């Protein structure tokens, strides 16, 4: 079976699973306890933060460990919420873990702007420019679309923010970008960045939020860095209350084994090398499909994600037809319960949306596997068409 739904989740590295076990069964101490063994774990978590910062291209900043991207996105957005006449800006291409938080802000009565996507799947920069103003509190934009692979130009958005909304925080959901495409948050000018371990061969239920400068905090974060931040932007506030772990921003005993397994995955991925490998895999896959009329391809950015439409056939039918040999997705796993697809509908016609499947790669597939998978999909499509 060839698994091509890596945007939904990836298989965990064996080495990461071994780390998980080590920190669950042997070195299981609570990092907040005061004795030596626990302090060692707490130090390992500090090193883990440094590893993530390095990989994000951040010279400094904080890493808040969370239960995954859904929580990181909620913390970034709800934690930025302020009373008063602030406005919030989102792209219309966000994952439900951002989109539904945005909706909840709207229900609370805030001014919330959803900026449409252009035909290339990226945010419409002109439309974004029109809604930004002095009252903007937060701009939240996905880095790589989990539906189409479109890559938003975060540096461009950051410059617009500097010019038009200097008080706004810029949050980026980087779930489909981190460890997949090369970038640096410092160069992009991002304040908050979300990552999720299970999208890069780590365990599920663990992730992090990068916070450029969250303000002075009482617990174990760097001191004296907060004043400027608080003056300029207002800090991030916690949405979970408890024992004050993670600098008070995310109470609850840290998922140490999950974090250590995630770090193993991070340190065993070469983003640039994998990017080049996956580009070759994607091209080989498309080469097989290209001779078949009726197959539409959205290939607009990240080589890890393709959206394909099969004229005359339902995406779901095709997915089920091939699933014993090849696993593909229909849209993001999180939105299969909904009829339609709010993101693809902005780019292609409704009948094409219905006939769409999402193919997403990982760097450890072989060329033969992806070519084979493309043949299986192509043949299944031809067979289904004959029956129509
Ligand atoms: N954002 C994006 C872009 C995603 O693709 C996903 C996973 N489908 C999430 C957020 C949610 O991640 P998690 O499963 O870690 O909550």
Each residue's pLDDT, cut to its tens digit, for the chain (388 residues) gives 999 999 999 999 999 999 999 999 999 999 999 999 999 999 999 999 999 999 999 999 999 999 999 999 999 999 999 988 999 999 999 999 999 999 999 999 999 999 999 999 999 999 999 999 999 999 999 999 999 999 999 999 999 999 999 999 999 999 999 999 999 999 999 999 999 999 999 999 999 999 997 553 333 333 333 333 332 344 799 999 999 999 999 999 999 999 999 999 999 999 999 999 999 999 999 999 998 999 999 999 999 999 999 999 999 999 999 999 999 999 654 555 446 799 999 999 999 999 999 999 999 999 999 999 999 999 999 999 997 7
Distance CA 232, CA 191 (A): 12
Ligand 1 centre distance from Cα of residue 202 (Å): 13
pLDDT at residue 219, rounded to an integer = 31
CATH number of the structural domain 2-8+270-387: 3.90.1150.10
Residue that has been written with the tokens 């990240």 in this structure = 302
Instruction: Indicate the pairing of strand 326-327 with strand 2-3.
Output: parallel
> What does the H/E/C string look like for 287-303?
HHHCCCCCEEEECCCCC
Q: What is the 196 CA–ligand 1 centroid distance (Å)?
A: 7
Q: Give Cβ neighbours of residue 171 (< 8 Å, ≥ 6 apart).
A: 73, 76, 77, 80, 138, 139, 140, 141, 190, 191, 192, 193, 194
| pLDDT at residue 60, as a whole number | 93
Integer Cα distance of 286 and 268 in angstroms: 28
Please choose from 142, 334, 358 the residue to mutate so as to test ligand 1's pocket, defined by most ligand atoms within 8 A of CB: 334
| Backbone φ and ψ of 180, nearest 5° | -125, -45
Q: Calculate how far, in angstroms, residue 70's C-alpha sits from the geometric centre of ligand 1.
A: 6
Spell out the residues 6+ positions from residue 89 whose beta carbon is closer than 8 angstroms to its own.
112, 113, 115, 128, 131, 132, 136, 138, 139, 140, 168
Helices (H), 14-117: 14-21, 36-56, 69-78, 96-107
**Nearest in space to 148 (alpha carbons), one of 358, 355, 6:** 358
> How far apart, in Å, are the Cα atoms of 40 and each of 12, 26, 45, 67, 350?
25, 13, 9, 22, 55
CA-closest candidate to residue 255, choices 78, 74, 31: 31
Q: Where are the domains of the chain?
A: 2-8+270-387, 14-267
The span from the CA of 226 to the CA of 215, in Å, is 3
Residue nearest to atom 10 of ligand 1 (CA): 69
| Beta carbons of 71 and 195 less than 8 angstroms apart | no
pLDDT at res. 213? 79
Which amino acids bring their CB within 6 angstroms of ligand 1?
68-70, 95, 97, 142, 146, 173, 175-176, 196, 207, 332-334
What architecture does CATH give domain 14-267?
A: 3-Layer(aba) Sandwich (3.40)
Establish whether 179 is a catalytic residue.
Answer: no
Q: What are phi and psi of 197, to 5 degrees?
A: -65, -35
Q: What is the pTM of this model?
A: 0.94
Atom of ligand 1 nearest to the CA of 8: 8
Q: Decide the pairing of beta strands 111-115 and 207-211.
A: unpaired
């Amino acid at each position: 079976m060839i698994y091509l739904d890596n945007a939904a989740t990836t298989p965990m590295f064996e080495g990461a699973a071994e780390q998980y076990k080590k920190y669950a069964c042997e070195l299981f101490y609570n990092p907040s306890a005061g004795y030596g063994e626990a302090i060692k774990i707490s130090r390992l978590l500090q090193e883990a933060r440094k590893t993530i910062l390095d990989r994000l291209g951040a010279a400094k900043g904080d890493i808040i460990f969370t239960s995954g991207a859904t929580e990181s996105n909620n913390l970034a957005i709800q934690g930025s919420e302020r009373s008063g006449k602030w406005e919030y800006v989102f792209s219309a291409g966000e994952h439900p873990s951002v989109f539904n938080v945005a909706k909840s802000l709207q229900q609370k009565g805030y001014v919330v702007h959803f900026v449409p996507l252009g035909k290339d799947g990226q945010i419409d920069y002109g439309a974004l420019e029109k809604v930004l103003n002095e009252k903007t509190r937060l701009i939240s934009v996905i880095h790589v679309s989990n539906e189409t692979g479109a890559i938003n130009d975060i540096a461009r958005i950051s410059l617009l923010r500097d010019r038009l909304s200097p008080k706004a925080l810029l949050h980026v959901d980087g779930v489909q970008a981190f460890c997949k495409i090369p970038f640096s948050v410092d160069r992009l000018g991002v304040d908050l960045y979300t990552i999720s371990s299970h999208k890069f061969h780590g365990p599920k239920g663990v992730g992090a939020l990068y916070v450029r400068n969250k303000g002075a905090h009482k617990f174990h974060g760097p001191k004296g860095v907060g004043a400027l931040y608080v003056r300029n932007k207002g800090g991030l506030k916690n949405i979970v209350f408890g024992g004050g772990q993670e600098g008070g921003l995310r109470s609850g005993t840290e998922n140490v084994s999950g974090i250590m397994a995630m770090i193993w995955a991070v340190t065993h991925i070469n983003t640039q090398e994998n990017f080049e490998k996956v580009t070759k895999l994607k091209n080989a896959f498309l080469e097989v499909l290209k001779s078949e009329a009726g197959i539409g391809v959205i290939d607009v950015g990240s080589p890890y994600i393709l959206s394909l439409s099969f004229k005359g056939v339902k995406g779901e039918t095709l997915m089920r037809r091939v699933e014993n040999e090849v696993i593909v997705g229909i849209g993001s796993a999180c939105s299969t319960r909904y009829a339609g697809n709010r993101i693809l509908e902005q780019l292609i016609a409704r009948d094409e949306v219905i006939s769409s499947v999402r193919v997403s790669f990982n760097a450890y597939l072989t060329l033969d596997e992806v070519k084979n998978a493309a043949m299986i999909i192509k043949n299944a499509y031809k067979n289904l068409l004959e029956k129509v």
